[in-house]
Structure 1
Amino acid sequence: MPNSELMPIGVFARRTGLTPSALRFYADSGLLPPARTDPVSGYRYYGADQVARAVELRRLRQIAMPLGAVEAVLDAGPDDSARLIDEHVAKVLEDAEAVRQRAAVIKSSLANVPGVPIATLKGPVLADAIEQVLTATAPDPGMPVLGAVRIEATREAVTLTATDRYRLATRTLVPAEPAASAWAATVSGDGLRAAVSAVRRSMLVRVEAASHGIRLRTADGKDQHCGLLSEEFPDHRLMLASLSEVTTRVTVPKDLLLGALEAHPDDCLSLVVTRDGLKALAADDGPPGFSLPAAVTGQTLRVSFELTTLYPAVSTAIGPDVMLDLRGPDQPVTVRSADRGDLTTLAMPVKPDHPA
């Protein structure tokens, strides 16, 4: 390669986002040897055709991939490279969860206080409840509580509640073994999400409170630890108590509604509820909206939703039929099972996207 086509290490570093010291390290390790090294001065020169490999190397190192795996990815074809990256990410997540669990155990043991029994619940039921209410959470670095779950226990029930201000989901469970006293705390949603798989495989799960979190004791003895949040949880009881009267009630087969929502082409949909059923308006210049048979009582109403708000609320409803309690175009809709009330979700409408 002619010298005019070669770049000194400083220029190559600026082109690729790698420091000169990193380039020397990767050259010495064999991952990215220079195109030419001056035998007298020792200066290293790189070719333009090495820029892509250097940039990819930098990106792989940014996701903490070890050198051996980086070399395998760089030298593999697209399909094998994607598989190797997926395997690395899975390993990182597995390691991170193991660290989180160990950290929770360490924090729990710092106070040297045994866990306080809260309740014993059926594992598969608790796992379903966790997944259902987590649909109403959202990651928000400014308000971590919006990604958390409020757990409240009495002798009669254990209630899980989550809200991201646009949705609210609450599920009530009957404990197999009730607690001796009332207890409440706000629990990390990420911790609960990570624990779901182990919880689902255990017939019974004993919930214990520790100083820095809760301990979910499973049948296999591999306890799951979830951290607590100190931030105040939104006043969901006030939210529920302040709901206006239901003006329109719709009962529709869950599978039919889900199928229609999945096929809807837009991010937002406007629903018209009449005595004839439930209809979605067509988008401008788009395909016709859907019409579904439904049992309707109350006033004719038009209301609009973001699909990402309404779909999770419907999908987690229990049973074959879903009930929508509507209060107006700008009021929360209650989504629940037509025959079971232990899971309730509120979803906020949005401004209609179609002219009246």
Structure 2
Amino acid sequence: MNDALTAGEFEAITGLTPKALRLYAERGILAPVAVDPINGYRNYQRAQGQHGIILDLLRRARVPVAELPSTSDFDFDARRQSLALQRVVEDFYLDVAERVADFDPSNFVAHSIETPAMNWVGVVVEIGFPDDMNERVEAVQELAVDTPTIDRAFAKALAELQENSANIVWTATPGDGKTSGRAMVITRPTSQVLDPAARRHLESQIHSSTGQNVAVAAGTLPRRLEVTFASVASGDPTPADEAAAGYLHALAFAHYLGQHKLTAISAHARQVVDGPALFEGPAPVSVFDVQLR
């Protein structure tokens, strides 16, 4: 019995297309046993049929090409676990999106207070997430460890400069508008705008304590109106409610600005914790800053 198969015969057995066979050969996933040096025709062995069929079915199951096996072995249980995790995440975001779709400004009560100018210093923390779900989970876990560590080192280094007597800390997005979603600034008030030498000292001390390379920025929040929102809903919030809150508060703020013809200082809220550290006080409150007339 002749075990050799032409590319066309192999395609008929496995369901793979010529394009797929060329791609898999280039990636080293499924290589022909021989290629004619004159006409470039590829030949396969009949024993490769099982592998080819598996590859075709895995692609129908939407397994990425990068995860396709170069042998007939494939970790089906790990893939099922990954899909289950992805489904949980998708359902969660569907729940969050549904709550945002049901937004009603009458469900939120605005509170505002006129606040004096405040100097601040902040540590920029990168928070970019990969597309792969498992890698994203690992990135979140690392962030959950790294961020409190950086925050504690930041507070300690600032105390060495005899700053940060105020019992408050907040996070915000960088003011350039180019890194939204990929970075945040852990921020604390200061008695004065720190000069470059003081900022370099903070960067050095934080790196010494954590091994993390961070950038330190400083500035002044102008005299302003601070606006917060409270939901009129009763009962304990679900995780989806908590995740949707930031989006709903942003929509409520946009409605508030239009209703009162006001101008925002920043498009994003500051997440303010009334305590000495981000993760050692009460839950953060979304605070929106508005220009005073």
Q: Same fold (TM over 0.5)?
A: no
Question: Structure 1 length as normaliser, TM-score?
Answer: 0.29
Structure in which a larger fraction of residues adopt helix: 2
